[in-house]
Amino acid sequence: MDAALAQGALRIGMVAGFSGPVASVVQESAEGARLYFDAVNAQGGIKGQNIELVTQDDKYDPATAAAAAKSLASQGVLALMLSRGTGPTEAMLPVLKDNRLPLIAPATGAISLYEPIQPYVFHLRASYQREAERAVRHLAGIGVKRITIVQVNDPFGNDAGKGAIKGLDEMKLRAMSHLRFDRNRPDLAPTMQAIAKANIEAVVFIGPAYAVVEGVNALRAAGSTAHVATLSNNASADFVKALGENARGIIVTQLFPYERSTSNPLVREALALAKAAGRHELTPAQLEGFAAARLVVEAIKRAGKDLSREGLLKALDGARIDLGGLQVHYTEKDHTGLEFTDVSIIGPDGKFWR
């Protein structure tokens, strides 16, 4: 019998950067997951067993992520969920294989995790490349032509940067420049001053929140009013707060329906549960966590009597799951998940508007 069953709980692990550069968005996604798990537990759990989210902080470090995943695997978790970042998630892959452990809804869109298919990874969000393509299409759609790409020089940046280039190609545009920066030493002021002097109309900014904040502030200090578009890894309340008065008008891609849209069944359910828990709104990251938890619960229910890792894998492969207006379909050859992409704009109230 799995340790999870022996302990009278269905234990789901989450290895992610609860401290470090992605802490804000990680904490928000965990809050969203717990919102749904708590609601299920309040209704008696699944066959009388509560779901427990067991978290470990990988500090956004691949080696730490691998060790934490191995630790949770040895503790008998049924699955992992909501890992954050390309490097940490890739580092977990050998652990998943060795333990036949599913990873559900990782919060990374790295194409290396989609192609070729990773048999133990079940995606929910669209890829980074699709996000970047969507950002470029939005900019082109509002008449912008002089676009520069600024990306962190790492696997995440290189991956998403390809999507931005693809989006430009589709719109029959070319980047005015394609610039890279060091994640650990961004030093973006000279780059932003050069962009301002070149009268660039828009910057597709691919990078961690602290670097994008530094870059946007430097761009505005240089006198540029260029549009700035960044990806959903920066869709957090702390990102908006860090930008301060420069937050207004920043474009941020989103991978789930608008978190205020009560016409969407998933959002309506999440908002109702949030209100019952004393909250009155959701962030994009909280909605992603909520959707991921809903996917986990549906998979457990479909596993039926076989509440094991193997049972969960069998339940997911070939599954068609309605998450409330969002349809997820997995096959043995395709674990892509959703292809939904949208954009939001940070409004004067510091909220993400669509």
Output helix, strand, coil percentages for the chain, rounded to the nearest 5: 45, 20, 35
Output the DSSP codes for 237-265: HHHHHHHGGG-TT-EEEESSS-TT-TTSH
Rounded to 5 degrees, what are φ and ψ at 350?
Answer: 80, 10
Burial of residue 48 (number of CB atoms within 10 Å: 0-12, 13-18, 19+): exposed
Closest Cα partner for 216 from 184, 243, 235, 197? 243
Question: What is the rounded distance in angstroms from the CA atom of residue 213 to the CA atom of residue 217?
Answer: 6
Burial of residue 104 (number of CB atoms within 10 Å: 0-12, 13-18, 19+): buried
Return averaged pLDDT per consecutive 10 residues of the chain, 354 residues in all. Answer: 57 97 93 97 94 97 98 97 95 98 96 94 96 97 97 94 97 97 94 96 96 98 98 92 97 94 94 91 93 97 93 94 93 92 95 92
Question: What is the rounded distance in angstroms from the CA atom of residue 291 to the CA atom of residue 281?
Answer: 15
Residue 277, C-beta contacts closer than 8 angstroms, at least 6 positions apart: 35, 38
Taking residue 185's Cβ as centre, other Cβ atoms within 10 Å add up to 8
Q: What is the sign, positive or negative, of the torsion defined by CA atoms of 196, 200, 208, 287? A: positive
Residue written as token pair 């457990």: 300
Beta strands in 171-298 (DSSP E): 177-181, 202-206, 227-230, 251-254
Describe the strand order of the beta sheet including 50-57 as a list of residue ranges: 50-57, 9-16, 79-81, 103-104, 121-122
Q: How far is CA 218 from the centre of its chain?
A: 26
Q: How much is the CA Rg of the chain, to the nearest whole Å?
A: 20
pLDDT digits over 190-236, tens only? 999 999 999 999 999 999 999 999 999 999 999 999 999 999 999 98
Q: How far is CA 235 from the centre of its chain?
A: 9
Residue 4's pLDDT is: 45
3-state secondary structure (DSSP) of residue 338: coil
Asked whether the beta carbons of 79 and 12 are under 8 A apart, the reply is: yes
Element (H, E) at 273: helix 265-276
